Amino acid sequence: MRDALQVLAVLAAVAAGLWAWRRYHYPSFWLALGFPIVALSVRTSWRRVALGCGLTKKRQRFWFTTVPGLVASTGIVRVKRKWQRIAVDTKPFMWLPLPTRHGWRVTLHTLEGQTPGDYTVAAERLAHSWGVHAIRVSSPGPGRVVLMATMRDPLVKVDELPASPELLKVTVGRLETGKPWLIDFRTVPHWINAGATQSGKSNLANALIVGLAPQPVALVGFDLKGGVEFTPYAPRLSALATCRAESVGLLDDLVALMIDRMGLCRQAGARNIWQLPPGVRPVPVVVLVDELAELYLMADKSEKDEIAKTSTALLRVAQLGRAFGIYLFCCGQRIGSDLGPGVTALRAQCSGRICHRVNDPETATMTLGDLDPAALASARAIAAETPGVAIVASQDGQWYRARSFYVTEQAAEHAARTHAHLAPPWDEITAHLPQPINA
Ligand SMILES: Nc1ncnc2c1ncn2[C@@H]1O[C@H](COP(=O)(O)OP(=O)(O)OP(=O)(O)O)[C@@H](O)[C@H]1O
């Protein structure tokens, strides 16, 4: 009988492991097999862990005690066969942990007076108590908190860049949850990509170029580092500005294009270009800016007017571009208020935020400042040995640690050459505009 029960238990464990392996695409069957043990240990240790991490609350309970000199968990109660009111530590109710690709997740019911923030504050303590790489906290609804545990850092190695067949959507990397990191310009039109030198900004821009190159979109580059970053991708770019004068001209074109599309939409009674019939819908434009600070830095006073024009035009594109199919992806080593009020206003318009490793806290604050403070702490903890790792404000309103796929300059150059025939000429795009073309 005992032997049969043991065999049954092993079979049940193997079945649970198999199910977790298939359902959650576990990297290894053996890892999946160990899950029931992990789940059990999380569940049984919850009282101790919650107490240790300060997530319990004292509640009054009536206890009927029959043992003289009973020592209650919260104080000594000397009673003999009588009801006694004592304060006990209550832990938040925990559901059964469920397996995920890189660990497990569990839903908790918060106690009265608790907010998800209390769990975020305790996240590091929880991770150490359970011996996992990290615990992330989210709240699916009032009174519920989900703890997501990752056993090992899933961003140590990310796979190859997959194809991105959907218009204006590019899978550029992987989130720490194991899900794809998606940049979808139609959902989040404007992005800021900040990071110190060698942090992986250009790698991310490369991934974007490889993803967008086969799509029917016009790519426009601003590279005030003399064009060293974007010139190799020129075959797929419809226009490229490499100095301040060219930038002013190209931005004038973009503003004129936007105003022209505005008129087109007004005539057709459409609110944006996506409501126009496909035959008359203009081509979407993705604007890539390498080193935002170069657009705003003033070497001498003679540049003052040009900088003011640049700043205003870029801000107008950010304010109105979404409806008219003009999207921004701005990279910068340093994004601070000292670059001028134009940068602060531009940042407010960019809801897509990516913060790689940065040198100064102000850049992290400017990039992620209005997100959870834990995102800021996480951004400052990115190690120099992990280029490409970034904190990303995602489309679902949450923030994630993520890592871009490694895309070499050669791969991006190859994509730019291969799809050069898909680059709509800038002269063609701007042919009907009333202004002279400078690009
Ligand atoms: N996702 C990644 N995975 C692995 N290695 C990466 C990744 N991203 C970047 N790297 C490595 O880091 C190096 C620096 O990356 P990258 O050139 O993108 O940094 P950067 O922030 O643009 O630097 P700079 O501002 O100096 O141009 C790359 O040569 C590459 O070897």
Other Cβ atoms closer than 10 A to 299 = 8
Q: When comparing pLDDT for 87 and 271, which is higher?
A: 271
User: What tokens does 407 get?
Assistant: 């895309």
* Residue 436 confidence (pLDDT): 53
pLDDT value at 80 more than 60: no
Q: When comparing pLDDT for 83 and 398, which is higher?
A: 398
How much is the ipTM here?
Answer: 0.96
d(CA 390, ligand 1 centre) in Å: 12
* Residue 304 confidence (pLDDT): 81
Dist. CA 221–CA 294, nearest whole Å: 13
Please report, rounded to a whole number, the percentage of residues in the chain having pLDDT higher than 90. 50
Question: What is the arithmetic mean of pLDDT over 347-372?
Answer: 84
Please report, rounded to a whole number, the percentage of residues in the chain having pLDDT higher than 70. 87
Domain coordinates in residue numbering, the chain: 169-429
Query: Taking the alpha carbons of 266, 269, 273, 277 in that order, is the dihedral positive or negative?
Result: negative
Q: How confident is the model at residue 358 (pLDDT cuts 50, 70, 90)?
A: confident
Cβ of 388 closer than 6 Å to ligand 1, yes or no, is yes
pLDDT value at 74 more than 50: no
Which residue's alpha carbon is nearest to atom 7 within ligand 1?
388
Dist. CA 430–CA 326, nearest whole Å: 13
d(CA 380, ligand 1 centre) in Å: 17
d(CA 429, ligand 1 centre) in Å: 33
pLDDT value at 126 more than 90: yes
In tens, the pLDDT along 174-222 reads: 988 778 899 999 999 999 999 999 999 999 999 999 999 999 999 999 9
Which residue's alpha carbon is nearest to atom 20 within ligand 1?
198
Dist. CA 359–CA 287, nearest whole Å: 26
pLDDT value at 300 more than 60: yes
CATH classification for the domain delimited by 169-429, as one of 3.40.50.300, 3.20.20.70, 3.10.350.10, 3.20.20.140: 3.40.50.300
Which residue's alpha carbon is nearest to atom 29 within ligand 1?
198
Question: What is the arithmetic mean of pLDDT over 320-325?
Answer: 93
Q: How confident is the model at residue 437 (pLDDT cuts 50, 70, 90)?
A: very low
Contact 146, 106 (CB under 8 A): yes
Average pLDDT, the chain: 85
Cβ of 211 closer than 6 Å to ligand 1, yes or no, is no
Q: When comparing pLDDT for 39 and 57, which is higher?
A: 57
Cβ of 206 closer than 6 Å to ligand 1, yes or no, is no
Contact 221, 405 (CB under 8 A): no
What is the Rg, in whole angstroms, of the alpha carbon atoms belonging to the chain?
28
In tens, the pLDDT along 266-289 reads: 999 999 999 999 889 999 999 999
Cβ of 349 closer than 6 Å to ligand 1, yes or no, is no
